[in-house]
Structure 1
Amino acid sequence: MDRFSFLNAAHTAYFAELYDQYLKHPDSVEPSWRAFFQGFDFGMQENGISEEVLGEAPVDFAEGDIPAHVIKEFQVIRLIDGYRTRGHLFTKTNPVRERRKYEPTLEISNFGLEESDLQTTFNAGDILGIGPTTLKEIVRHLENIYCESIGIEYMYIRKPEELQWIQDKLNVNENHPEFDDAQKKQILKKLNEAVSFESFLHTKYVGQKRFSLEGGESLIPGLDAIIEKAAEFGVEEFVMGMAHRGRLNTLTNIFGKSAKDIFSEFDGKDYEQDIFDGDVKYHLGWTSCRKTDSGKGININIAPNPSHLETVGAVVEGITRAKQDRRYKGDNSKVLPILVHGDAAIAGQGIAYEIVQMAQLEGYETGGTIHIVVNNQIGFTTNYLDARSSTYCTDVGKVTLSPVLHVNSDDAEAVVHAMLFALDFRMKFKRDVFIDLLGYRKYGHNEGDEPRFTQPKLYKAISKHENARDIYFEKLKKQGVADDEYLKELEDTYKAALEENLEDSRKEETTRITPFMAEEWEGFESAQEDEMMKDVDTTFDLDRLDKVAEAVSQLPEGKKFMRKIKKIIDGRKKMYFEDNKLDWSMAEHLAYGSLMAEGYNIRISGQDSERGTFSHRHAVVKVEDSEEEIILHNNIEERDGDFFIYNSPLSEYGVVGFDYGYSMASPTTLNIWEAQFGDFVNGAQIVIDQYISAAEDKWKLQNGLVMLLPHGYEGQGAEHSSGRMERFLQLCAKDNMYVADVSTPANMFHILRRQMKAKFRKPLIIFTPKSLLRHSKVISTKEEFATGSFQPVIDDHDANIEKIKTLVFCTGKFYYDLLKHREENEREDVALVRIEQLFPLPISKMKELMDTYKNADDVVWAQEEPRNMGAYSHLLLHFEEARKFRVCSRKFYGSPAAGSSVRFKKRHERVINSVFDKNLNEEENN
């Protein structure tokens, strides 16, 4: 009896659909059918290797057991699956050179089909939406969808609804756009602007760097289409990040920046105001409100960027999230991030991976980003084969199973079609999508560079290649949509406007810079160093502080918590309401809670920041049996602000960039990034150099990001000792940031409150303690919290001024080590003064104290770090009197600290002893 006779009786369209489902999601198919399909695959594998599912053996049958026409149907379905999976490898997406060859190809013979099958009708056409049809028609349909100007990668996506949506979308018009004449003319208009702008600059500013978009001009009509369509989806704001290539073109033709201002920047004019230095023209940001063709206003922002090309991506995501949180109560459909990458940068810079990994995390998600790669096929002088190991520069997108579209940038309609596809996907599924805009770079890396030195064959082809506008115009001309006169009018009108702008720009002696996102910063003042040194009222009513303390020291009833958690929370209540001895964690909690009561939001992120690396914070407590998360700060009565805290991925670079961007767009949020250990901040050095220390000078941007960096020498080796304060202090200049190494809970409370109560914003770097978190002497009273203020210098209140012979300036945790030695040795002749704020340095107060201790003939700077690290060199630069100080520190070392705990202890004690015995200090120096 024929075991498979039922296959003759049933309609093969049913098998086609079921087999198609099996190929995409094997586990979704009923087990007996899955076993059958596995058996078929096993029989069809030329190499005999089965693709069986673990634990289920494929059905054992010979190929002859299955009716021939059913086998053919299955083979056609495998052909369809081959196009879906590998069609992108055989597209016509490269405008200037042959594609690499891939094997096996999509020839029908590779799927067990023959030329004689081309006229046979197959039910498998049903799964493409074209019904039963011939194999010839199926192949034509597949070629049109998967192998023309758009190649798409998506079959690795694991959600059936996303796969089905994509396939349905591709089947419409065979993945080919259908635009009406008005839309085609709009595409031509934007292409003309893109081409004419570059041509104008090329003739007026010969040899000047502009990082031309020529070879990728279709980016402009693509972006234009996204903005117009997104407004119909209800998007109200865009935040874009992009590097140099095409940026000036985008600023003018998408963001509406006056060409006059760009020409002034080309002429190298100075700025109207001298309070900042400015930046090169292709780094500057811009904000504008654009009215769409449908009459909707949409706010568009392009963030300022440095030459570390992918860094701006993290900043853009942070800005986007802040806008979504602050303006739209978390509705991510209202703000859309777009990141424009270069092919070499997205493949070569690790932060791209970090940003992608943050895309769906609770603390960092923005509802999906549209990533557009302006693919020049070259990075500076490096060929793509030397720039990456992956097949595509966009392969990082597969980390989050994002669809990737590869598009020939010469096909303007395909580009716009792909952009709108990406927008639809993002708005529906709230996920990232990537567009690889495959073009070329007409000139060298910059316009003064000679690309034929390194790519002679490629640039020979490029020199003969028509631009995208002319290619598209010829297409429209044949269709009767536009003629020569129409194009000439477009060109003449646009060039006349550019000439007028150029003439106007040369009438003015200076240029101006428009602050980025000025509307977010209304009411905030810029501040110079003298303003930064003024006292800020950080007091908080004691009765209201009691209510904050009550909220953060009371677990909800009816829920089961670990005994240790109960003890920690009960300890808060005891230290506040009974002992009046508040520790470091309580300083943090009360600072956050008091600011929330005054209407400020709190956001904290970092590796393990919810609990705290040293288990001191416990801002989130978990119910033992359900792991329900509870944030006690949100129980504060009459609060107007919210508390958000997130454990971050194991990233510094990407996360600090994100949090910096968040602070850039939300000046009323106390935004804190905490390093697991201070040493790890060096992973974010690019953000520190390019944004935190320099953004106000370069881009007139204020930012209030707080960085908490655990710092202190406690014998934990080279990697867990130093937050590298010397690096931050070296970057300090005039008025660009605050740097502090606070040593009391009250000072921590007030410095955090000062950050929000001031009428300006500066980045704040705080070197926080580790062992001091629970040190018996590191306590403050609630009255010091309620009525005190931040103390940049803390005098030695226990010192008898008349007896003091040695005056010691120190900072942070080292003070308590010195204090212990002084008490043990009863040294009443030594005064210990703490410098709590290292920048701006409280110079006048330090001088005042030196005058106060008039009997001190020995003035010491003491630090636990090596001489070439820590704050000593900073002191020499900013405090002239420091040149006469006796310096007590470790010697010069390349490593921050010794790995051996015994060696560490010896060195540490030697420094402490030298503070109290100048003879030892002289021996050390000799």
Structure 2
Amino acid sequence: MNDRYSFLNAIHFKNIEFLYNKYKENPNSIESSWSAFFNGFDFGKENYKNIIKSDNDIIQKEFFVYNLIHAYRKRGHFFTKTNPIRKRRKHIPFLDLKNFGLSEKELDTYFEVGKLIGAGKTSLRNIINQLKKIYCGSIGIEYMYISDPEKIQWIEKWFHKEKLQFSSEEKKFFLKKLNQAVTFENFIHTKFVGQKRFSIEGNESTLPALEEMIEYTSDRYLTEDFIIGMSHRGRLNILSNFFHKNYSQVFSEFQGKEYKEKTFSGDVKYHLGFSKIKKTRKGRYIKMNLVPNPSHLESVDAIVEGITRAKIDILYNQNSNSEKILPILIHGDAALSGQGIVYEVLQLSQLKGYQTGGTIHIVINNQIGFTTNYTEGRSSIYCTDIAKTLMLPVLHVNADDVESVIRAIYFAIDFRMRYHEDIFIDLLGYRKYGHNEGDEPRFTQPSLYKEIYKHPNSYNLYKKKLEKEKIIDNNDIKNMEKEYENILNVKYHEANNIKWNVLNSFLEEEWKNFPIVSDNETIFKKVDTRFSAEKIIKISNQIFSLPKEKKFFKKTKFIFQQRLEMIRKELVDWSMAELLAYGTLLYEGIHIRLSGEDVARGTFSQRHAVVKTEEEEEIILLNQICTKQGKIQIFNSPLSEYGVLGFDYGYAMYSPHVLTLWEAQFGDFVNGGQIIIDQYISSGENKWKIRNGIVLLLPHGYEGQGPEHSSARIERYLQLCANNNLFVVNCTTPANFYHLIRRQMKLKYRKPLIIFTPKSLLRNTKCLSTIEDLATGIFQEILDDPYVKDVKKITKLIFCSGKVYYELLNKKEYIQDEKTALIRIEQIYPLKMETIKKLLDKYENKKEIFWVQEEPENMGLWSFILRKLGNFIPFNLIAPSESSSPSTGSYPDFLRIQNKILKKAFL
């Protein structure tokens, strides 16, 4: 025997005896396969000793066969028939008998270990046939890296049971869906020559797989809600033949007609979302949502999980293991292995604040990414190898074998419902055409496409199979094909009579009471955010008083004592105003979700929304205000911006009645989630009619902490602002921040709100407000200088935004300047021009007008202010010179730059 295979073969009797003794003490103390073996092998202690002495060779051979079984379980997926067009790569060691101390002479010898695969005591020949059938057919299973023995045993038991048999009617249905998948693509190919559609051909079995997924899940587990995310490959086919979007509407979109809603730009047809209530074949009604997505392929993953979690919290009793709802993510192979968002979302899957009860991942595996071969697109063997980081099972399935695909679907559902974990199904298929139908794949993959062009599609393969089984005949096929073709032709002619394309709104029912608005009159309409001072003080005493019977860290007690003292003085700082904004909304019955890195305590130890006792018991005082209040959920997130921001955006996408906030640890880090901001937050309303009220809290301000802890890149958000799509705000008072948060939930519509929050101002003694400001005030977009005593003395106006105001104020007070007014732009976008014009008229003796900012000239608000106000305000700019980096890394240098700005402002 070759030494290289010794790890599979050489089992010493001392080890066997050791395992056996452990088994006798506790059957659960050893690996499940050994436990099952010892249980099935008639091992009395005395007999065991006798067998070891007299039947040494038999025992040794039994364990050699056991090693063979183990090898098939661990490595069988390397030797499957899962690839319909390519020859498999060779993986060593092979599963040859000689590598296990066995030979063909023993093929008819009976072995007890056959019991481990459900075959009973049987011949080696039968054991091998059974192993090949289970592990080396059209399905390859990866699961032996899982650490839970019970889970491994469950998986093996599922696959050892008798192979599923489908009825004739079920098989006819699978064939019907395959025909629809193929014929739909061919119809578009001939009617709309050269147009992009991102055909599903090569993975047509995805369609019957999805149909059977909802049928099986809704029938067996009473699942009623399906949230699906996928990129463009096959999307139009699934929209038409699974979601039943009207074919005429799809064809009309191919004709390039304008959208009826002129206020929306719309998007390409294979990015659009869709919501549907569908009746299953067994008569159950289910909700299905296909989430809109951009060409940033995997970005939709996080959105799907966020929507699912929102539904769990709101509809399904905060039960993350609810079987009522199922998220499904359909990936491309190249994107799955290439996009980091996949890893971020997987790491959320078992965390308390982000669990969704397990996701079923389906990979439409084309074995190519645009023009890139899989050997150039990843370092791992499989595109699904990321699943192994969480020890999740993976099924590799030949996409041409539709019945094996359905079997894989059943397994995935059963696994998900039992363990509430993610699972991956890798559908090995191909891509019939290029990346899009106008692309020529033979430029880069000539050999592959020779094979693809002569390969029969899954519909023709399955049709022959059913003909052979005498389930269908030629007349059945002709009738089925003709019926579907007639439907497509009728809908094609109907499309010619459609004047406008209509932008289907996603989740329309949930948002029916929140209209899309963009007019200035509605946007600038004052919103009543008042709340009685008496109730504010009562809530303050509730949320700032630590339980006396609990033990807390000394500094924690000091912070809460300080808060109570300030309340007695009827003053609030920034963090108190934030907590009171939440507290008053909770009192009014509004639910809140706050998520992000270190949000419970706050990055700057300012929030303490979750307090811990010395025994680390967590207490959320905001949830103890009154009996019928709303609930606040506060979750520290993983060190992720892209994934978590996408998740919380998805959460807010479903829940207009919930205040959903995401906070960046420092505003600078939010650029890790820029794709979500660009593709969803800023443009989702215009592209897809999606409304969303997510709030982003982004700490911003220059304080000498270096280039990565200064700027939240305000300029980037302002470049994304148009048609009143966002609120972009940089508050300077606790009261204005308080009213802004309350305004977000009092509005009759929803817009994403970007708030640049302070750091040093959290403890600035001038950055205070009164209880009266909170009780009777209102959010103010522009703040005039409250310290001007004589308007006629003012000859200089300084406009600014954010924390630099306090530095300007300190300088002004220090030099006792009475000729300068400091005007703050609190709401940067939409910019309230009328108020600015009134202030200009008010200060009629002005001679100089400056825009002052601490960000470099090419950053911050300056470009936006110049574009919006430069035509009628003769601004002079005071700012650090342009720079490629947001800030210096030297603290003395930072002070020099800041002092230069202040000095120049008061020359």
Q: What interval of TM-score do these two structures reach, taking the shorter chain for normalisation? A: over 0.9
- Matched residue SS, 2:494: helix
Asked whether 1:166 is paired with 2:155, we answer yes
User: How many Å separate the matches in 2 of 1:20 and 1:594?
Assistant: 53
- Alpha-carbon distance change, 79 to 13 in structure 1, aligned in 2, over 3 angstroms: farther
- The structural deviation recorded for 1:26 is 9.0
Match of 1:569 in 2: 560
TM alignment of 1:57-72, pairs within 5 A: 67-72=56-61
Distance 1:761 1:8, change over 3 A: closer
User: 1:227: which partner in 2?
Assistant: 214
TM-score (ref. length: structure 2): 0.94
Alignment CA distance shift 1:852-1:478 (3 Å): same
> What secondary structure, in the 3-state scheme, does the structure 2 residue paired with 1:393 have?
coil
> Which of 787, 797, 813 is the matching residue for 2:803?
813
- For residues 335-391 of structure 1, the C-alpha deviation after alignment (integer angstroms, 9 at most, x for no partner) is 110000000000001101101111101111100000000000000000000000001
Take 2:555 and 2:457, find their aligned partners in 1: how far apart are those partners? Answer: 69
Q: Is the contact between residue 85 and residue 155 of structure 1 (CA under 8 Å) also seen in structure 2?
A: yes
Q: TM-score, normalised by structure 1?
A: 0.92
Q: 2 CA distance for matches of 1:20 and 1:500?
A: 64
For 2:582 and 2:345, how far apart are their aligned partners in 1? 28
Which of 304, 318, 323 is 2:292 aligned to?
Answer: 304
Aligned counterparts of 1:64 and 1:884: Cα–Cα separation in 2: 103
Q: State the alpha-carbon separation in 1 of the partners of residues 535 and 225 from structure 2.
A: 38
Q: Secondary structure, in 3 states, of the residue corresponding to 1:688?
A: helix
- What secondary structure sits across from 2:572 in the alignment? coil
Letter in 2 for 1:260: S
Counterpart CA distance in 2 for 1:5 and 1:398 is 33
Asked whether the 8 Å contact 1:16–1:124 carries over to 2, the reply is no
Instruction: Note the C-alpha offset of 1:620.
Output: 0.4
Question: CA separation in 2, counterparts of 1:235 and 1:557?
Answer: 46
Partner of residue 470 from structure 1, selected from 460, 483, 496: 460
CA distances 1:369-427 after superposition (whole Å, capped 9, x unpaired) = 00000000000000000000001000111111111000000000000110111011111
What CA distance in whole angstroms lies between the structure 2 residues aligned with 1:715 and 1:8?
Answer: 66
Q: 1:716 aligns with which of 678, 686, 705?
A: 705
Give distance in 1, aligned partners of 2:658 and 2:19: 63
1:194-233 equivalent positions in 2, closer than 5 A = 194-232=181-219, 233=221
How far 1:880 sits from its partner (Å)?
3.4
Distance in structure 2 (CA, Å) of the matches to 1:200 and 1:450: 20
- Match of 1:679? 668
Deviation digits for residues 501-546 of structure 1 (CA, Å, limit 9, x no counterpart)? 1111111211112210111112111111412111111111223223
User: For the Cα contact (< 8 Å) 2:23–2:30, is it kept in 1?
Assistant: no
Gaps of 5+ in 1: 34-62, 918-926
Tell me the distance in 2 between the aligned counterparts of 1:494 and 1:877. Answer: 56
Tell me the CA shift for residue 12 of structure 1.
10
Amino acid at match of 1:554: S
Instruction: Provide the residue aligned with 2:164 in structure 1.
Output: 177
Find the partner of 2:603 among 608, 613, 618: 613
Is 2:277 the partner of 1:274? no
Are residue 439 (structure 1) and residue 429 (structure 2) matched? yes
The answer to whether the 8 Å contact 1:542/1:786 transfers is yes
The equivalent position to 1:411 in structure 2, one of 401, 420, 432, is 401
Classify the secondary structure of the residue corresponding to 1:720. Answer: coil
Does residue 155 (structure 1) correspond to residue 144 (structure 2)? The answer is yes
1:790 aligns with 2:779: yes
One-letter code of the match for 1:96? Answer: I
Q: State the secondary structure of the residue aligned to 2:608.
A: coil
Distance change >3 Å, CA 912–CA 507, structure 1 → 2 = same
Per-residue deviation at 1:7?
12
User: How far apart, CA to CA, are the structure 2 residues paired with 1:6 and 1:837?
Assistant: 77
Partner of 1:254: 242
Q: How does 1:504-903 map to 2 (within 5 A)?
A: 504-530=494-520, 531-576=522-567, 578-625=568-615, 627-799=616-788, 800-881=790-871, 884-903=874-893
Distance (Å, rounded) in 2 between the aligned partners of 1:915 and 1:442: 66
Distance verdict in 2 for CA 1:123–1:661, change over 3 Å: same
In structure 2, relative to structure 1, the CA distance for the partners of 1:115 and 1:527 (3 Å cut) is: same
Q: 1:358 aligns with which of 339, 342, 348?
A: 348
Distance 1:400 1:17, change over 3 A: farther
For 1:514 and 1:133, locate their aligned partners in 2 and report how far apart those are by CA, in whole Å: 60
Distance in 1 between residues matched to 2:434 and 2:414, nearest whole Å: 35
Alignment counterpart, residue 188 of structure 1, candidates 171, 175, 179: 175
The 1-side partners of 2:37 and 2:809 are apart by 73
**Contact 2:138 2:397 (C-alpha < 8 Å) held by counterparts:** yes
Partners of 1:21 and 1:28 within 8 A in 2: no
> In structure 2, what residue type is equivalent to 1:512?
V
Q: Is the 8 A contact 1:670 1:756 kept in 2?
A: yes
Structure 1 893/769 Cα, relative in aligned 2: closer, same or farther at 3 Å? same
Matched, 1:283 2:274: no
Aligned equivalent of 2:45: none
**How far off its partner does 1:117 sit?**
1.4
Q: Determine helix, strand or coil for the equivalent of 2:669.
A: helix
> Matches of 1:750 and 1:334 in 2, distance apart?
38
Deviations 1:778-815 (A, max 9, x none): 11111111111101011101112111111100111000
Give the Å deviation of 1:638: 3.8
Q: AA paired with 2:152?
A: L
| Compared CA separation, residues 26 and 534, structure 1 to 2 (3 A) | farther
- Distance in 1 (CA, whole Å) between partners of 2:22 and 2:243 is 52
Report deviation, 1:23. 5.2
Alpha-carbon separation, structure 1, partners of 2:874 and 2:210: 62
Determine helix, strand or coil for the equivalent of 1:514: coil
2:195 counterpart letter in structure 1? Q
State the alpha-carbon separation in 1 of the partners of residues 542 and 774 from structure 2: 17
CA deviations 1:203-236 (Å, max 9, x no partner) are 1111100000000000000000001111121211
Q: Using the alignment, how far apart are the partners of 1:279 and 1:8 within structure 2?
A: 65
User: How many residue pairs were aligned?
Assistant: 879
In the alignment, what sits opposite 1:44?
none
Change beyond 3 A, Cα 1:477–1:571: same
- Corresponding letter in the other structure for 1:139: I
Q: What percentage of residue pairs aligned between the two structures are identical?
A: 52
Deviations 1:104-123 (A, max 9, x none): 01111111111111111111
Secondary structure, in 3 states, of the residue corresponding to 2:745?
helix
Aligned partners of 2:628 and 2:36: how far apart in 1? 49
Q: Deviations over 1:830-860 (max 9, x none)?
A: 1111110000011111111111111110111
CA contact (8 A) 1:704 1:761 kept: yes
Contact 2:22 2:29 in 1 (8 A): no
Tell me if structure 2 keeps the 8 A contact 1:17–1:124. Answer: no
**Against the structure 1 CA distance between its residues 66 and 830, is the aligned structure 2 distance closer, same or farther, given a 3 Å change threshold?**
farther
Number of the residue aligned with 1:335: 325
Q: Hey, what's the Cα distance between the residues in 2 that align with 1:11 and 1:745?
A: 67
For residues 667 and 347 of structure 2, the distance between their equivalents in structure 1, rounded to whole angstroms, comes to 23
Q: Is the contact between residue 16 and residue 77 of structure 1 (CA under 8 Å) also seen in structure 2? A: no
